[in-house]
Chain A
């Protein structure tokens, strides 16, 4: 892959990778490490993919890299929204609450929620990305909604 293709990939998919890494790692420094690792790995790829394939590859690579890093950490603290430079300024208390609630979800549920709600992937697409049946993804999303409702005190609609 050329540097220009790399620049282009970062411009198109950089936010996707960073957000997913942040959601999984709950730590900006780790998320930046994952970002760098993932794009350097992409840079090593000789194959010429189209945009969607690249994006799918990046998501898969990001999840793998996050899992690698997680093996070294048994318990991790939840990242406070205020500690993310860009998100801090809005200061919406409901946003803080929501971020916190999602951060407290078990990893499998959190990944499904993030890909579905933040990236707009369908359950079938998520199933293909994660290599699990679509029904499992739907179950995870269902459980996630259920837990979020509890965490958010039931005043959120869940959907």
Chain B
């Protein structure tokens, strides 16, 4: 009866739409607490708009310290830059307009989430679109101290500006203008794309370039590769929720959106030969109150484990939990850890090259089958390893 009752109950799930209703009620409750004046003007309106377009606006915070050109050569630019995500709530998308700051992943990846495809053309040709083009929901903001000017450019479509008040203004494919922290920018599809014979605009694969000119005349440029992704929400160590690209086969990665990956990010190589699987039963993030600080890659016993990047072996050891493990230091605070190995082929102090064999997959320590537990840490903080693989590697991975 035990099994039967449990089986019976497992078929019963929360009815569709109930979660949304509760969220809606929660939002309403919060809005009422803020006060009717506030509700009527600045809060309630965006909520309604957000409900319609399910947009996520994004603030790209260019941190003061990190954006001055690094006099210290060891400075890893952007590794600690912070992104403020202006989250919008949609009735259909898993997104909540809390006006809260959500930090980006430590590898500088940003999420521009929206519930629409990234290709725009020949769709709706209303008067508005024919005249002004399409102002997409992919929006971002440049933040930081001591910025005098911003230069933005994109290699397809264009950009638009939206101030605190007023209508969006098209800017074309590039713009240089004085910095205003209240202004947000968005991706724009020019009206030509909607005319017969006009070229389609698809932001999947586009390159966005953002340059900040500081008061002392120095400049800093970040380039972003925009890719269309299915995103997954995960809870990081400090408890904040973040979105990161999901993998094929992961049904929790169900938020379509545009992901902006910093091109100068630190990309890692895939650490296991002959396995391109990530176990979805135990993904990175806080699950049931406990942080799973890495990803599990199932592979055959003895499969070759490769160094994810050039580095030095800083630790080789064994303990009850991790079994045989090793830690590689890749410089600038970036480390990777490989656990549950059958055997480790390198010793402390060895220098390794990316793609070099360092160990073999096993099932030592607290493990129930041969797999590699792979962790990425920046300054000792566990990061979502998925954000350290470029889109070519991510596309080849499967969650199972």
Contact = CB atoms under 8 A, between A and B. Distances in A.
A5 B25 contact: no
A39 B22 contact: yes
Contact of B288 (A51, A86, A90, A117): A51
A158 B4 CA distance: 11
Contacts of A43: 26, 29-30
Interface residues of B, number: 41
A117 B11 contact: no
Given A14-B19, A95-B8, A7 B289 contact: no
A124 to B, nearest CB: 18
B244 to A, nearest CB: 14
Contacts of B233: 4, 7-8
8 contacts: A4-B241, A6-B22, A6-B23, A14-B14, A18-B18, A43-B26, A85-B15, A98-B8
B14 A118 contact: no
A52 B290 CA distance: 9
B8 A3 contact: no
A69 interface: no
Contact of B1 (A10, A86, A98): A98
A10 B22 contact: yes
Contacts of B290: 50-51
B331 interface: no
B391 to A, nearest CB: 25
Interface in B1-25: 1-2, 4-9, 11-15, 18-19, 21-23, 25
Interface residues of A, number: 54
Interface centre among B14, B89, B94, B102 (most CB of A within 10 A): B14
Contacts of A53: 289
B12 A4 contact: no
B22 A52 contact: no
Given A51-B289, A117-B1, 16 more contacts: A3-B27, A5-B241, A6-B23, A6-B26, A7-B23, A36-B21, A40-B25, A40-B29, A43-B29, A44-B29, A86-B12, A86-B15, A94-B4, A117-B2, A117-B6, A148-B1
Given A36-B25, A87-B8, A51 B287 contact: yes
B2 A159 contact: yes
Contacts of A50: 289-290
B286 interface: yes
Contacts of B23: 3, 6-7, 10
A156 B11 CA distance: 21
Interface in A8-45: 8, 10-12, 14-15, 18-19, 22-23, 28, 32, 35-36, 39-40, 43-44
A101 B385 CA distance: 48
Contacts of B240: 4
B269 interface: no
B96 A87 contact: no
Report whether over half of chain A's contact residues are helix, strand or loop; otherwise say mixed: helix
Interface of A: 2-8, 10-12, 14-15, 18-19, 22-23, 28, 32, 35-36, 39-40, 43-44, 48, 50-54, 81, 84-87, 89-90, 94-95, 98-99, 102, 113-114, 117-118, 120, 145, 148, 152, 156-159
B100 interface: yes
A86 B22 CA distance: 20
Nearest to A87: B11
B96 A7 contact: yes
A58 B290 CA distance: 18
B28 to A, nearest CB: 10
A116 to B, nearest CB: 8
A113 B13 CA distance: 19
Contacts of B367: none
Given A36-B25, A51-B286, A99-B8, A158 B87 contact: no
B235 interface: yes
A57 to B, nearest CB: 12
Nearest to A158: B1
Interface in B234-293: 235, 239-241, 286-290
B64 interface: no
B98 interface: yes
A6 B94 CA distance: 12
